[in-house]
Amino acid sequence: MGIRLPVDLRTCVVDQVRWAEWLKNDPVVMIDRVDVQENLKSLKGIYIDCGFKDQYNLHFGARQLSDKLKALGIEHIHEEFDDNHSSIDYRMDISFPFMYKSLTE
């Protein structure tokens, strides 16, 4: 078992069939499905945070996801902070209380 990347590792040419399979699991793509929207609406809390210096560029996807949630009227919290993807344990002081409250109320 392994990961089959959607690109040729030597040339970086995109394998369109594999890429289509990857996109099926991309939250920014998945949110366009009605069943996913209904499931998201049923959640007690959605919290998205990301550093705007994220070395994997996850902040761009987080922004897109937040924009789509907003357009759908799905409540959520989206926060960006001045950091990258590493050594961000201090963010747990913010996210864990939110998750605890969402799970216990």
Average pLDDT over all residues of the chain = 96
The identity of residue 102, as a single letter, is S
CB atoms within 10 A of CB 69: 21
Alpha helices, DSSP H only, in 24-91? Answer: 27-30, 34-41, 58-71
pLDDT of residue 1: 57
* All structural domains of the chain with their residue ranges: 1-30, 43-104
The contacts of residue 14 (CB under 8 Å, 6+ apart) are 6, 7
Return per-residue pLDDT of the chain as tens, 105 residues.
Answer: 588 899 999 999 999 999 999 999 999 999 999 999 999 999 999 999 999 999 999 999 999 999 999 999 999 999 999 999 999 999 999 999 999 999 998
Instruction: For the beta carbon of residue 75, count every other beta carbon within 10 angstroms.
Output: 12
d(CA 50, CA 78): 8
